[in-house]
Every structure is written in C-alpha cells, then in structure tokens.
C-alpha cells in the first residue's frame, strides 16, 4: 500500500456517462474513460498516479483519505440518529406552504444521495448513515382529520428512539403537535422560537377558530416555556404576550444590540433540560427570504440569525422545526438555497460541532 496520496487523478469518473459528483451543477467536470488495472482481488479499478509515477487503484485513495478524515473524530462521543420528518400541512393559513415542505423533502433527499455518491472524504461523512427520512402524507380526508394525532405520534416515536428531530412543515400551525408533545415533558423544557409573529392573536378582526396565527391559544397541553426572537409585533399588549411567552426580543432590539439577547438565551438554554428550536421563515427580512406568505419588513439577516442559533445550541437541543416556506413566492430559488444550506449546516452542527478547517 503506498504511503502518500496521489498528486493528481488520471480520470474524472469510473462511469463514462456520469459526473463524479452526481447531477449537481458546478461540482464536477465532464467524465473521461478511466485508466483501469487488474488488482489482487481479480477486479479492475480506476488508477491514479502517485508522485513517484506509479499507478495504483483509486479505491486505495478513497480508503486512505477517509481514514485520515475520520481520525479527527476519535474521542468524540457517539451521537444518535436524526429523524428528518416532512409534514406538508397548510390548512387554516398560508395555503401553498405544503408545497414548500414537499420541495424541501425532495431537495434534502437529493443532498443525501449526492453525498452518498461522492467517492472522496467530505464533511458529510460525519452524518452518513445516521439520517432517517420520512414524509407524512396528507392525501386522504382521514389523514387530515387526524393530522394532530399523527404528527404528534411521529415525533413522540422519534424521541422515544432518542432521535434528533428535523421537522419540516407547511405553515406554522403544523408545529402545534410538537408544542403539545413538549408540554408533556419536563417542566423546564424550552422552545426558542424564531418568528416575526406572536401566534396568540385575539384581535377583533382575527378568527377565534384554530389558525396559524393563534394556535398557541388552542394547545391541549400546558405550553413549554417559549422565548421569541425576531418578532415585529406592534399591536399585542405586553400583558397578553407575557401569558404565553417567557420573553420576546423584537427584531429592532436584536439589530441595535443583540448582546443582551445572546446572554439571556445562552443562560436559559443552559438551565433547561431540553431545548427545541422553532424557525418560522418569516423571521428573516424579505430581502433575504422572499418566499413567505405574510412578509414583514425589518427582519433578521442571516448572519445575526446564525449568532442567535449558535447561542442556543448545545447537546440539549432535541430538534429543529422549519415552517412557512412558500416556494411560489421565491426568487431564483434564493429562499430554497438558504433552507437547504441551513439543513445541511444543522446536521454538521450536530455531528461535527463547529465547522473548522484547522
């Protein structure tokens, strides 16, 4: 077995009709027919050239590079699996966001498949084989009648398996079953909610029936403690807000000086027994994320969002929910690209820790 890595490959892909990185544009060159050599296992393998000029199988390159990559992971505690659950629900508000959940499910599967096709070591190896994808279909009347029960059962089973939950739903109402399930857990469970709206609307022109704008008023279980980040609410009175939220940090305060919120958030998450992150996409300013049904100005920018996300992050985080992505309002897939990047970032954040190139 050679002792060093080859200087340059003599081929792009062992398959003449595919790029080496799948179908994602910009990640691979046009393939050429590879050089092949029979090895001791009686099979033909692509060849690469070492610095000393000797040709040897690319399979050895893959094995050595993966070994080198994974040696950095020694000593890290084992991390459980992730359940990526897609729930395309959009009744009672923001019709069309169910298509957003379905689109994200397709993009997420494509991302995992592309990582699996990659033949060299990448950071995605940290979560390879550790992600379970499930799409909860709502294609019958019975399924819609039991939407709360089925959603709550799916997340309960995932947590019983000690799985980390990625919950992608249509409108924000699709997160209500998770709030109800969290309400049955320890009293010091904390929800960190990124949302432009406080979903406790009781104004005269708002429906009293269950909707994506008042669902916290309709919870069947005691609500967990909730800290809101990024609200742009200008009408609801503070005494009404305090009945349902432990704290709420408006977007203007976060923009002017985020440090008090960062400190409070870190302390609250440290004291909690479990933390759940709830991301309503309208928390972002529409300039960065146009694909929402009810955009509000003066939202968070992505760098500030990442600061807040990482202030809340620890091993206590049980899962993350994403909602209110309306692909019909997107511009050149700008919002889709942000969410796919965020999903991959969350997986790396869980299985790799902080990203580093050191």
pLDDT in tens, 43-72: 444 544 444 444 444 444 444 444 444 444
Which of these three, 17, 37, 68, is where a domain ends?
68
Query: Are residues 39 and 124 both part of a single domain?
Result: no
Query: Are residues 115 and 165 both part of a single domain?
Result: yes
Strands 164-169 and 131-135: unpaired
3-class state of residue 38 by DSSP: strand
Crossing angle, helix 259-271 and helix 302-312, to 10 degrees? Answer: 30
Report if residue 215 sits inside a domain: yes
Report if residue 74 sits inside a domain: no
CA 301 to CA 324: how far, in whole Å? 17
How many domains in the chain?
2
Which of these three, 68, 98, 118, is where a domain ends?
68
Residue 250's domain comprises 82-351
CA 47 to CA 9: how far, in whole Å? 8
pLDDT in tens, 175-233: 999 999 999 998 899 999 999 999 888 777 777 777 767 888 988 889 999 999 999 99
pTM (2 d.p.): 0.78
Residue 224: which of 201, 193, 265, 260 has the closest Cα?
Answer: 193
Report if residue 2 sits inside a domain: no
Model confidence at 354, in pLDDT bands (50, 70, 90)? low
Query: Are residues 33 and 116 both part of a single domain?
Result: no
Query: Are residues 61 and 89 both part of a single domain?
Result: no
Bin 326: left if φ > 0, else alpha if -120 < ψ < 50, else beta. Answer: beta
């Amino acid at each position: 077995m050679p002792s060093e890595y080859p200087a340059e490959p003599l081929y792009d892909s062992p398959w003449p009709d595919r790029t080496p990185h799948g179908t994602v544009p910009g990640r691979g060159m046009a393939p050429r027919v590879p050089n092949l050599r029979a090895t001791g296992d009686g099979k033909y393998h692509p060849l690469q050239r070492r610095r000393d000029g000797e040709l040897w199988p690319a399979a050895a390159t893959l094995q050595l590079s993966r070994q080198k990559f994974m040696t950095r992971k020694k000593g890290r505690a084992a991390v459980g699996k992730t359940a990526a659950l897609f729930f395309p629900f959009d009744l009672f508000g923001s019709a069309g966001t169910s298509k957003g959940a379905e689109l994200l499910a397709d993009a997420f599967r494509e991302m995992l498949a592309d990582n699996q096709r990659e033949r060299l070591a990448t950071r995605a190896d940290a979560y390879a084989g550790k992600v379970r994808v499930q799409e909860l279909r709502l294609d019958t009347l019975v399924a819609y009648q039991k939407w709360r029960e089925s959603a709550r059962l799916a997340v309960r089973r995932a947590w019983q398996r000690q799985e980390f939950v990625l919950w992608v739903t249509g409108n924000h109402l699709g997160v209500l079953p998770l709030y109800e399930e969290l309400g049955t857990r320890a009293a010091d469970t904390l929800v960190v909610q990124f949302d432009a709206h406080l979903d406790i609307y009781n104004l005269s022109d708002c429906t009293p029936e269950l909707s994506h704008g008042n669902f916290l008023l309709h919870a069947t279980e005691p609500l967990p403690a909730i800290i809101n980040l990024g609200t742009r609410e200008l009408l609801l009175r503070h005494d009404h807000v305090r009945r349902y939220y432990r704290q709420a940090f408006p977007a203007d305060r976060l923009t002017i000086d985020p440090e008090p919120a960062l400190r409070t958030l870190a302390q609250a998450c440290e004291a909690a027994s479990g933390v759940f992150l709830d991301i309503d996409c309208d928390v972002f300013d529409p300039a960065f994320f146009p694909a929402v049904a009810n955009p509000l100005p003066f939202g968070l920018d992505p760098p500030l969002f990442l600061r807040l996300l990482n202030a809340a992050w620890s091993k206590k985080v049980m899962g993350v929910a994403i909602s209110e992505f309306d692909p019909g309002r997107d511009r050149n897939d700008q919002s889709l690209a942000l969410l796919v990047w965020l999903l991959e970032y969350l997986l790396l954040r869980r299985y790799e820790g902080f990203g580093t190139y050191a």
